[in-house]
């Protein structure tokens, strides 16, 4: 057995004080200009994919009493509030009967406004933003909807859950990523109906529609070697608990409850992002030749990134991720105040393990690279400081058994090579997992860690890089 250590150092350029002063002036000049002219800015990290203030015809299709024009009030005489007397901006808006109430006894989605086609390909987090002035009776009687066309079917993304009686314009934002993310043929549909035979309200008024998206970072969705990519804010079905966590790589490696899934929550620990909250539950990804077993399997290279937040217990053995069984496999787990990455063949005959200290209630980004016998790992961009091992291992042999997130589904091996029984549930939060069947370069690892650190509000400094490698 031998220990090899590698060092890679990158330093940032030092800018002169004069250049800093110029940048400072430009930044604040732009901010002042924005304030004076009243410009609106798309949310940080979001790109505007489509916008319409309805001052010109951009190709919306209207059915029945949905129309584009200047609101002039009216309606709401008996129930709810009247229509607005002006658009939110400019002259025009769209709405149902702009000068009165919608009709009684309407069929399902009798009034419709459908947008032109919107190209959202290359964008993962897609948000529908619009100004709303809506009056509609409770859904036991009348119905208002928003649907999204994903290229093959209409999908309901919003419906009135109660009576709504708007008396002013209000900004609405709806996450439509599940149906619009990375789709090239997206449409938005506002609809009204069915309605009952009695009370009438003034209905929909809509202005300043905008679709924004977060670009899928190069190195994530489109990177060669990407096998699966789970994000807490994308592709989630159900919430408490979830019933499916869809793979964002396009490879169909969805994570399913085993048998109960985690809850999806918005975590103040992870920059107010949506995450999976694990506590005595777990998820499985089925066997796959690019991960653990099957025709074409190759265990020479792997790369993995996990954004997670520890709970109040980092002493008990808890698995964030595990694949394999009692003979060959790979595991990432917390135990005795440390986080471990271990790869093993032939039970404990051939094993590599690297580990680093962790604290309770703390956010982390863990990355590791496995490259034909060399195992490197980093925690919040700091190299793992300790290692242990046994024998020689240059490739990870095939290993059947479901791939597990948040627990171990059956026997595995710990950092000493001892058998670890199934269970070992993780009791913290997992925000994102990215898995490759290739060894990424140091530059690619840096880029991904940087993206994850920014996304989850974790301080990941790249002024200097020190890479640690343990090789059998």
pLDDT of 141 reads 98
For the chain, the domains span: 48-215, 226-471
Asked if pLDDT for residue 258 goes beyond 70, the answer is: yes
CA 79 to chain centre: 41
Q: What is the dihedral of CA 402, 407, 408, 409, to 10 degrees?
A: -50
CATH architecture of 226-471: Sandwich (2.60)
Instruction: Read off the pLDDT band of 328 (50, 70, 90).
Output: very high
pLDDT of 45 reads 52
Asked if pLDDT for residue 431 goes beyond 80, the answer is: yes
More confident residue, 412 or 250: 412
Instruction: Read off the pLDDT band of 123 (50, 70, 90).
Output: confident
Q: Which of 154-168, 233-247, 266-280, 449-463 has the least mean pLDDT?
A: 449-463
Question: What is the mean pLDDT of the segment spanning 390-409?
Answer: 92
Q: Give tens-digit pLDDT for 52-104.
A: 999 999 999 999 999 999 999 999 999 999 999 999 999 999 999 999 999 99
Structure tokens at 470: 């343990």
Q: Give tens-digit pLDDT for 291-307.
A: 999 999 999 999 999 99
Structure tokens at 419: 């058998």
Asked if pLDDT for residue 35 goes beyond 90, the answer is: no
Query: Do the beta carbons of residue 369 and residue 456 sit within 8 Å?
Result: no
More confident residue, 410 or 265: 265
More confident residue, 20 or 1: 20
Structure tokens at 74: 């009216």
The DSSP code sequence of 370-418 is: EETTEEEEEETTEEP-EEEEES--SSPPP--S-EEESSBSS-EE-TTS-
pLDDT of 443 reads 76
pLDDT of 447 reads 74
pLDDT of 47 reads 87
Asked if pLDDT for residue 34 goes beyond 50, the answer is: no
Asked if pLDDT for residue 44 goes beyond 80, the answer is: no
Q: Give tens-digit pLDDT for 348-367.
A: 899 999 999 999 999 999 99
More confident residue, 13 or 105: 105
Considering the entire predicted model, what is its pTM?
0.58
Q: Give tens-digit pLDDT for 134-177.
A: 999 999 999 999 999 999 999 999 999 999 999 999 999 999 98
Asked if pLDDT for residue 128 goes beyond 60, the answer is: yes
What percent of the chain has a predicted confidence (pLDDT) above 70?
86
* CATH 2.60.120.200 is held by the domain 48-215: yes
More confident residue, 279 or 145: 145
pLDDT of 306 reads 97
* Same fold across 48-215 and 226-471: yes
pLDDT of 4 reads 34
Instruction: Read off the pLDDT band of 217 (50, 70, 90).
Output: low
What percent of the chain has a predicted confidence (pLDDT) above 90?
70
Instruction: Read off the pLDDT band of 446 (50, 70, 90).
Output: confident
Query: What average pLDDT is seen over the chain?
Result: 86
CA 147 to chain centre: 21
pLDDT of 216 reads 61
pLDDT of 275 reads 97
Kindly report each contact of residues 219-225 with a partner whose C-beta sits within 8 Å and lies 24 or more positions away, as own/partner.
Answer: 219/444, 219/447, 219/448, 219/451, 220/248, 220/434, 220/448, 220/451, 221/124, 221/182, 221/248, 221/249, 221/250, 223/436, 223/444, 224/438, 225/301, 225/303, 225/436, 225/437, 225/438, 225/440
Q: Give tens-digit pLDDT for 304-322.
A: 999 999 999 999 999 999 9
């Amino acid at each position: 057995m031998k220990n090899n250590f590698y060092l890679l150092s990158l330093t940032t350029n030092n800018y002169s004080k004069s250049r800093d002063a110029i940048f400072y002036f430009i930044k604040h000049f732009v901010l002042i200009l924005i304030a004076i002219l009243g410009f609106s800015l798309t949310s940080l990290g979001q790109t505007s994919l489509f916008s319409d203030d309805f001052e010109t015809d951009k190709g919306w299709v209207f059915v029945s009493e949905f129309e584009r024009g200047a609101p002039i009030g009216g309606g709401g005489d008996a129930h709810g509030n009247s229509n607005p007397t002006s658009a939110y901006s400019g002259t025009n808006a769209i709405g149902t009967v702009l000068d009165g109430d919608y009709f009684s006894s309407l069929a399902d989605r009798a009034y419709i406004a459908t947008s032109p086609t919107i190209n959202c390909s290359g964008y993962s987090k897609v948000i529908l933003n619009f100004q709303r002035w809506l009056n509609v009776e409770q859904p036991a009687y009348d119905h208002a909807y928003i649907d999204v066309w994903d290229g093959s079917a209409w999908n309901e993304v919003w419906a009135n859950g109660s009576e709504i009686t708007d008396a002013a314009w209000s900004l609405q934002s709806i996450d439509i990523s599940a149906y619009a993310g990375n789709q090239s043929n997206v449409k938005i549909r506002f609809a009204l109906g069915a309605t009952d035979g009695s009370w009438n309200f003034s209905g929909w008024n809509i202005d300043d529609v905008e679709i924004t998206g977060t670009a899928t970072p190069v190195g994530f969705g489109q990177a060669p070697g990407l096998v699966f990519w789970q994000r807490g804010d994308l592709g989630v079905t159900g919430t408490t608990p979830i019933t499916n966590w869809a793979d964002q790589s396009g490879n169909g490696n969805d994570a399913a409850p085993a048998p109960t899934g985690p809850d999806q929550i918005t975590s103040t620990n992870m920059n107010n992002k949506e995450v999976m909250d694990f506590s005595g539950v777990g998820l499985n990804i089925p066997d796959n030749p690019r991960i653990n077993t099957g025709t074409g399997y190759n265990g020479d290279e792997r790369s993995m990134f996990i954004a997670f937040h520890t709970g109040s217990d980092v002493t008990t053995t808890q698995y964030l991720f595990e694949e394999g069984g009692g003979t060959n496999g790979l595991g990432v787990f917390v135990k005795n105040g440390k986080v471990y990455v271990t790869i093993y063949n032939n039970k404990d005959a051939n094993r590599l393990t690297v580990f680093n200290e962790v604290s309770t209630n703390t956010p982390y980004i863990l990355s590791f690279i496995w490259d034909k016998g060399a195992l490197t790992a980093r925690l919040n961009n700091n190299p793992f400081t300790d290692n242990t091992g046994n024998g020689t291992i240059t490739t990870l042999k095939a290993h059947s058994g479901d791939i597990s997130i948040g627990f171990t589904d059956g026997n595995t091996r710990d950092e000493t090579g001892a058998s670890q029984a199934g269970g070992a549930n993780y009791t913290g939060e997992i925000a994102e997992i990215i898995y490759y069947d290739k060894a990424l370069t140091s530059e690619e690892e840096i880029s991904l860690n940087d993206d994850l650190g920014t996304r989850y509000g974790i301080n990941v400094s790249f002024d200097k890089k020190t890479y640690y490698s343990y090789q059998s």
